[in-house]
Amino acid sequence: DNVIMPLTFTFIILVGVLGNGILVTIVAVNKNMRSTPNILLVSLAIGDLLLLIFSVPFQSVRYAYMSWPFGLLVCKFSEFSVTLSLGVTVFTLTVLSWERSVAAVAVGRDGVAVVGVVAVLRITYLSIISFFASINFSFQGKTICSITNPKYFNSILSWFIWHHCYCLRNDDVTYDTLTHFLIFFIFPIIVISIFYGRMAAILIQSSKNIPGDQIEARKKVAKIVLSCIVIFSLCWLPHHIYQIAYSFSLFEYNRFWHWFKIVGICTSYMNSCVNPIALYFLSKQFRRYYDQYF
C-alpha cells in the first residue's frame, strides 16, 4: 500500500490538475465555448481541482508513511474537501441533466448571450449547498493516535504536530454514512434518471418538428453529460459499497475487502481526472482546443 497508493495518487493528481486546468482555461479564454453546459462542466472541473489539490496529496503522504502525520485540523479539512468536491460534482451533474431536459424543447437555450449570469448563479447556489452539506460530514473525521504516543491522545497538540496517528471517521456515524450515500449518490442518480427519461421522450416526440441539425447538436451534448454521469457512478459506487458494508458490519475484514477498499478509494479519486479525457474523445470542439496545448 505504501508504494502503490502514493504512485497512483501522484498519477491522478498530475493528470487531473493538467486536464481540469486546461478545461477551465479553454472555457474562460474562448467566448464561443461559454455555453450553459460548458460553464457547468467548469464547475465540475473546479470541484475536481479542489479534491486533487486539498485532499489527495494528504492521502498520498498518509499511505506513504502508513500514518496520518498532519493532525486533527488537516484531518477534518481533508474530510471537508472530499465531501465538498463530491457535492459540487453530484449537484452539478443533476443540474446539467435538468438543463439538458429543458434544452431539449427550448430552441436557443444554449445561446451564449443569455447564459452567463444564469450559469454563474447556478454554480453559486450549488457551491453554497455543497459547502453547508460538507460542514456536517467534515466533523466526522478524527485523529486516532497510536500507543507509541499516548501523551498526545486527545491533546490540543494533536491538532498540529507530526505524530503517529490515523485519520478515521467516527465510530458513531453509521447512519450518517447511510445519509451520505443517499444524499450524494442514490437520490441524485434517481433524479438524473428521471430527467434523462424525460429528455429522451421529448427528443423522440419533437424529432419531426425540430431541424435535424439542432436535434443532433442536443444529442451530442446529452451524450457528453451522460458519459460524465456514468463515469461518476462507476467511480464512486465501489467506495460507497465499502462504506455502507463497513459501517453496518456486513462483513469480516479480510484481504478481499482490504483490496476492495483500496480500489474504491482509487476509483473515487480517479473520477476527478477522467472527465477531461472523456471530453477529449467525445467533443470535437474540446479536442481541437486541447490539441493546442499539447
Question: How crowded is residue 258: how many other Cβ atoms within 10 Å of its Cβ?
Answer: 12
pLDDT at 112: 41
pLDDT at 170: 58
The residue written with cell numbers 467516527 in the block is 170
Q: Using an 8 Å Cβ cutoff, are 227 and 282 in contact? A: yes
| Sequential pLDDT tens for the chain (294 residues) | 678 889 999 999 999 999 999 999 999 999 888 887 888 889 889 989 989 998 899 889 888 887 777 777 787 788 788 888 888 888 888 888 887 777 665 644 444 434 455 556 666 666 677 677 667 666 655 555 443 444 444 444 444 444 445 555 555 567 778 888 898 899 989 988 888 888 777 776 666 665 666 667 777 877 888 888 999 999 999 999 998 998 888 888 888 999 999 999 999 999 999 999 999 998 999 999 999 987
State whether residue 165 is helix, strand or coil: strand
Of 65, 66, 68, 62, nearest to 165 (Cα)?
Answer: 68
Domain span at 199: 4-291
Q: Using an 8 Å Cβ cutoff, are 184 and 271 in contact? A: no
State whether residue 43 is helix, strand or coil: helix
Strand partners, 145: 165
CATH number reported for the structural domain that contains residue 285 in this entry: 1.20.1070.10
pLDDT at 7: 93
CB neighbour burial string for 142-179, b if at least 16 within 10 angstroms, e if fewer: bbebeeeeeebeeeeebeeeebebebebeeebeebbee
- Quote helix, strand, coil % in the chain, to nearest 5: 80, 5, 20
- Give the rounded distance of the alpha carbon of 40 from its chain centre: 13
Q: How many domains does the chain fold into?
A: 1
CA 44 to CA 231: how far, in whole Å? Answer: 13
Q: Is the pTM of this model over 0.85?
A: no
Helix (H) or strand (E) holding 258: helix 255-282
Instruction: For residue 20, report the phi and psi dihedrals to the nearest 5 degrees.
Output: -70, -35
